[in-house]
Structure 1
Amino acid sequence: MTRGHLFVVHGRLDSLSADAVVIPTDARFGVRAQWRETAGLGPDGTWRSLRPQGWGPGAALPARVQPAGGSAPVVWFVDTIAASPSGIGDVAARVVESIVERSGHALLPTATDAGRQLPLVAMPVLGTDGGGQGGRRGQVIAALVSALGKATAELGVDVALVAWERSDYAALQHRRRETDVPAPLGSNADTAKTLGERVRRGEVALFFGAGVSIAAGLPSWSGLLSELVHRLDLGELKDRIEKLGPLEQAELVQVTLAANRKADPAGSQTELGRLVADVVEERSARPSLAHALLASLRVREAVTTNYDRLYEQAVTASRGPKGISAVDVLPWARTSSERPWLLKMHGDVRHPGSIVLSRSSFVHYDTRWKPVGSLVQSLMLTKHLLVVGASMTDDNLLRFAYEVAGLRESIDETDHSDAEIGTVVSLAVDEAFSRLWKGRFRVVVPELVADVEAREPAMPDAENTDAREEREAVERRRAARALAIFLDTVAMHAVRESPYLLDARYADGRADEAARLVDDINALARRARALVSDDDWRQLVRVLYEFGARGR
C-alpha cells in the first residue's frame, strides 16, 4: 500500500479541490456559519438537513445530503470537542480512519478522474476555533502533525491541513521542520529545501503552465484543442487535424470560426478566445492542491501561460477577504507594493481577445505583447525562475530564455557558476531536454522513494494499447503526486514570517526562559502601545505585532 502524505496549505477549505472535506462541529451539531459554502449549503438551507443519522458525542460521519455536482468533495462532520490538545489529534486521526473505512473505495474513482494517485482529504486546524483548545494552539498543532502523519502513512490516503490564520500556517510549518520524518523524496528533498530557502529570501519568481491546472479538472493544451475541434464538429477532418501541429490545429479552429460566423478575419482571434473561455470556465471548479501550495509560497512575482483564474483564487484564499482579489493581474492592472502580481503571458478568460493559441497569434505576438516578453526576461535576469507544470516547448518562452542565456554568456566568458536562469520541475525524465538546457536551467524530476522501489519495468511488446495507456496514466498520477509533495517540501522551508513567536497561545511546550521572554515582550508591547502617538513607537509596536505580540 502506498503511504499517504500530510500536506499543509494556507487558505480556505472551500477553495481547494479534494475528494472529501471535514467540517468541525460538536456533539449537539452546532455548526458555524463560516462552513456553509464548504458544505454546499445554499442560502435557504439548514444544518439540520445535513445532520448525519446517528449523530452524537465523538461522531465522525458523512453529511446526510451531499453537495450537488460531480466535482464537489464528499462532506464529513466530526465532533471536535476534546479535553486536551492530544485529544484533538486523536479526533483528526479518527475522522480520517472513518473516511477510509466507509468511503475509501468510493473516493478512488473521483481521485483518479482528478489525476490524483491517492484520495485527498481536506480539513481545517481542528479544535482551535470553538473547539475548546484555542488558547493552546501550539500543543494542538504538535498533536495534529503527529497524529495525521501517522494516520496518512498507515491508511494510504493524503490529507491537506488547511490553515486560515497565517500564524497557524507558520507554526505548522515550523513544527514539521522540527519533526524528524524521513523524506519521501530521497535526494530531491535537499533540492526542495534549497528552493524553499531561496523563496524565503525573496530570490524566486514563479512560472507555471497547464500541468498545475490539469489536477483541477482543466484540459491540457492538446485536450483543449480536441475539445475545440469537437465543439466545431470537425470530425470529418479528424485524421488530417491530428497530423497538424498544435498551433496549426488552433489556426484551423480559428479560421473555421470566422467562416461559420462570417466574422471579420481580424476579429477571428477574439472568436477563438471566446470559445476557449467557454471551455475553461465550464471546466473550472476549485484550485488544485498544486495551486494552493504555490499560493502558500507567497512569491511576489509570477508568470503563467494559463488562461484560467485558479491561481488567483488560491492566492486570494490565502491572503484576503472572500470575493476581493488579492493579486494584481498583468497586463490589465498596475502593481502595488503590498500585493503580489501575476502576468498572464498568453491571455485571460475574462479578456477573450487576449488569448494566444493559434499560429497567427504567435506570429504576431511581439506586435501586441512585446512589453510582456520584456517583463518575463527581466525576471529571468533578476530572479531565480521556478518553472512548474510547463513543458518548456512554448516558442515565445524558449526565445526569451535563449536571449537571456545568450546575453549572460556573452558578457561573462569566464565564470558561469551563477548563470542558471532557474529550476524546471518536470514530471518525467527527459535526458535530451536536460542536456539541451544544462547550465541554463536545472531540471528536477521529483520521484518518491517508495514509488521508485515499487515500480515495475514496462513491457511494451507484451502489452496491448489499453494496458499501455493505463500504465502511462498511472505514471502520470504518480508523477503529479511526487510534484505536489516536492512543492509541499519547498513550502515548508519557504515561510519567512514568525507570527506565532510572541503569541502566548503557541507558548505551550517552550522552555521556561523562552516562555518568560514572551511574557516580557508582550508587556513591553502594551507599554509601547500607550505611546502610539509617536511614530517611532508606532513602528516598534507594528513590528512586535508582526511577530505575534498581543499587547492589546
Structure 2
Amino acid sequence: MPHGHVFVAPGDLAHLSSDAVVVPTDRGFHLEPYWYETLGLGDDPSADDAARLRPVEWPADGYGPAPGEAFTAADGDVADGDDDERRRVWFIDVVPTRATGGTDGAAELADRVLRLLEAVAADDALAARTGRLLPLVALPVLGVGKGSLGGARGDVVARLVAACTAFTGRHAIDVVIVARHASDFSAFQDARQALDDSPLPDDLESQARDLAHRARRGELALFVGGGVSMGAGLQGWRDLLAALAERAGSPDLVADLAALSSPLDQAQLLQQELGEDLRRHLRDILGCVRRYALAHALLASLGCDPVVTTNYDTLYEQALGDAVGAGPATLPFDDAQAGEPWVLKMHGDLREGSRPVLSRSDVVGFDSGSGPVGAMVQSLLLTRHLLIVGASLTDDNFLRLAHDVASFRETHTARSRERRPMGTVVALADNPGSRRLWQGRFEFVATHVPSPGHTGRAAQARDLALFLDRVALHASTPRYAADERYEGLLLDDEVRAAHDARRLLAAIDGLPPHARGRWRLVREALEASGASRSPDLDV
C-alpha cells in the first residue's frame, strides 16, 4: 500500500467528495455561517442543530470528531443507505492559545493539525469510499479567517504543508487542502514546489510539466469524459445501462440487454422500452452524487478555455464555478459571454427540453441535428491542443470529428512539414494499439504505474489524480507575492520588492484619471500579483 499524498485543490469544502472533512471553530464551539453547508445544517440552524455536532469533552485536545450519532446527520439530505455521500466530520480549534500571532501562532496551529490527523488515522470510522484506493481527508485553509492568523497567511501555508506532508509520509491516507481563493491556491503550490517531492516517475513528471506549460500559455482546451465522474462515485457507462435496466423492473429486459455487445445498442433498447422514463431514471441516478471528484477540481484549476464534455452530469461545471467564483455558461443552452468561461455539452444533458445523445439512433443523427456542436469541437482540434481526460477515444461522434480533422490537416500539409498533434489523451492505462493507431495525431499519457499490490481501477484513479495534481502544481501562477499577508513565504529581498510593488500601485492610483489609463497594464500585473489587498481573504 502506498503512503499518502498532499493534494491542493481550488473549490468549496462542501462540494468536494472526501471521506472525512475538517471544519474550523474555536474553544466556545462557535460555527461560522459559511461552514453550515459543509455540515449539512441548512441556512438557519437552531442552537440544538449545532450543539449535536459538538465533540464529546470539547475542547479537551483542541480537536475532535462529531459524535457518532451525528456522523450521518451531518449530511442529512443523503438517501438512506447511500454511504458514498457520507463523511466523518472533525472539528479543530484554530485560535492560538497564546496571545501571539504570526510564526508562533502558525506553528501552534500546525502542531494541532498534525495531532488531529493522527487521531483521524486511528478512527475506525474512516474508510475509502467512491472507489478511492486510500481514504481522503479534506481541510480548508485553517486559522486565516476568524482564527486571527489572516495577517500571517504565508506562515500558515508553509506550516500546514509541512504538517500534512509529515502525516502522509507515515500513513496510507491522502490529504487535500481546499483553497477558496486563487492567492491561497498558488501560495500552497509554491510551498509544495519547494519540497520537490514528486510522486511520479521522471517520464510522467516531464509530461506533467509539458502540459502545465501549455496551460500557462493558454494553448489547452479540455475534453472531459465519463471516467472523471467515476471518481465522484458515478457508474461507468455499461454499469449505468445495467442499473437503468434494473430500474425498469423487467428481468427479461435485463437479460436482453446483457445479450447485446454494443453499449449504443443497449441504450437503443432501453430508449425503446422506457421512453421518457429513461431520462427520469437517469436524473435519479446522476442526482444521487452531489459532490465533485478531486480530479474535477484539479482540472478546473488549469484554466482551460473552452471545455467540452460528453457527460450528462454537472459535476465539472460545479467544480469550475467554485474555482473561478461563478458558474460557467453551458452551451448550447446558454449564451457564451466574452471573457467568461463556458462548457460545451457535446451530448446534451438531462434538463427539461434537452434530448441527450444516448442511443445508436442518436449517434447516427448527431451530424444532422447537432452540426454546430461538431463544428465547434473540430475548431478546437484545429486551433488548440485538446487535453482529453476520462475518455478512451471510443465515442463514435468524437472519432468521426477527429478523423475528419486529421484527414483535412493531412490534405493541406506540405510533405516537408510535420503537423503538431491535435491533443493529448490522458489515459488510466497504456494502450499500445491506440497509441499506434493515432500516432502523430494524438499524444498519449498513461498515468497508471502498476506494481505488486497496486492494480485495479481504484489504483488507476488515484494515479490519475496524482498526475493531474502535478499538472495543476506546475501550471499555477503566483497570485500572492506582493500581498503582505504572505511574507512568510518570501526571501528578505522579496519582501522589500513586495513593499515596493504596493507603493507603486498606490502611486498609480494617485495619478489623475487621464494619466492612470497609461499605467493600466502595469496596474493589472500588480493586482494579479497581490499588491491590492483583497478583503475577501478575511473570510
TM-score normalised by the chain length of structure 1: 0.88
**Does residue 142 of structure 1 match 2:158?**
yes
CA deviation after TM superposition for structure 1 residue 14, in Å:
0.5
C-alpha separation in 1, matches of 2:264 and 2:481? 52
Structure 1 SS opposite 2:9: strand
Change (3 A) 1:551 1:166: closer
> Which letter does structure 1 place at the counterpart of 2:309?
T
Q: Percent identity?
A: 41
Change (3 A) 1:551 1:524: farther
What is the aligned partner in structure 2 of residue 275 from structure 1? Answer: 281
Pick the aligned partner of 2:146 from 127, 130, 133. 130
Deviations 1:82-134 (A, max 9, x none): 3432223222222211111123xx332xx24x010000000001121122321
**Does residue 523 of structure 1 match 2:499?**
no
Q: Is the 8 A contact 1:5 1:153 kept in 2?
A: yes
> Which letter does structure 2 place at the counterpart of 1:435?
R
Deviations 1:381-414 (A, max 9, x none): 1111111111211101011111111112222243
C-alpha separation in 1, matches of 2:199 and 2:266? 43
Deviations 1:301-339 (A, max 9, x none): 11011001111111111122xxxx520111111212232
C-alpha separation in 2, matches of 1:420 and 1:455? 35
> Which letter does structure 2 place at the counterpart of 1:545?
E
What is the aligned partner in structure 2 of residue 301 from structure 1? Answer: 306
Change (3 A) 1:419 1:511: closer
- Segments of 5+ residues of structure 2 without an aligned counterpart are 97-103, 535-539
C-alpha separation in 1, matches of 2:172 and 2:186? 26
Change (3 A) 1:499 1:220: same
C-alpha separation in 1, matches of 2:328 and 2:379? 20
**Does residue 233 of structure 1 match 2:239?**
no
Moved more, 154-163 or 426-435: 426-435
Structure 1 SS opposite 2:4: coil
**Does residue 107 of structure 1 match 2:126?**
yes
Change (3 A) 1:397 1:532: farther
How does 1:259-270 map onto structure 2 within 5 Å? Answer: none
Q: Is the 8 A contact 2:296 2:316 kept in 1?
A: yes
What is the aligned partner in structure 2 of residue 169 from structure 1? Answer: 185
Q: Is the 8 A contact 2:483 2:532 kept in 1?
A: yes
Pick the aligned partner of 2:321 from 312, 316, 319. 316
Pick the aligned partner of 2:107 from 86, 95, 101. 86
C-alpha separation in 2, matches of 1:38 and 1:202? 33
Structure 1 SS opposite 2:126: helix
Judging by fraction of residues, say which structure has more helix.
1
What is the aligned partner in structure 2 of residue 33 from structure 1? Answer: 33
CA deviation after TM superposition for structure 1 residue 271, in Å:
5.1
CA deviation after TM superposition for structure 1 residue 222, in Å:
0.8
Deviations 1:460-491 (A, max 9, x none): xxxxxxxxxxxxxx510000000001011110
Q: Is the 8 A contact 1:423 1:441 kept in 2?
A: yes
Deviations 1:52-90 (A, max 9, x none): 111125422111222233313211101223343222322
Q: Is the 8 A contact 1:24 1:79 kept in 2?
A: yes
TM-score normalised by the chain length of structure 2: 0.90
Runs of 4+ with >6 A deviation: none
CA deviation after TM superposition for structure 1 residue 232, in Å:
1.7
C-alpha separation in 2, matches of 1:391 and 1:427? 9
Structure 2 SS opposite 1:202: coil
Change (3 A) 1:6 1:551: closer
What is the aligned partner in structure 1 of residue 16 from structure 2? Answer: 16
Q: Is the 8 A contact 1:529 1:538 kept in 2?
A: no
C-alpha separation in 2, matches of 1:239 and 1:23? 47
How does 1:353-502 map onto structure 2 within 5 Å? Answer: 353-415=354-416, 417-448=418-449, 452-455=450-453, 475-496=456-477, 498-502=478-482
> Which letter does structure 2 place at the counterpart of 1:56?
P
Moved more, 302-311 or 83-92: 83-92
Change (3 A) 1:160 1:505: same
C-alpha separation in 2, matches of 1:310 and 1:240? 32
**Does residue 60 of structure 1 match 2:63?**
yes
C-alpha separation in 2, matches of 1:230 and 1:210? 21
Q: Is the 8 A contact 1:422 1:442 kept in 2?
A: yes
C-alpha separation in 1, matches of 2:453 and 2:53? 42
> Which letter does structure 1 place at the counterpart of 2:385?
H
> Which letter does structure 2 place at the counterpart of 1:488?
D
Q: Is the 8 A contact 1:92 1:126 kept in 2?
A: no
Change (3 A) 1:532 1:128: farther
**Does residue 45 of structure 1 match 2:46?**
yes
- Segments of 5+ residues of structure 1 without an aligned counterpart are 259-269, 457-473
Q: Is the 8 A contact 1:305 1:346 kept in 2?
A: yes
What is the aligned partner in structure 2 of residue 345 from structure 1? Answer: 346
**Does residue 198 of structure 1 match 2:214?**
yes
RMSD, aligned α-carbons: 2.0
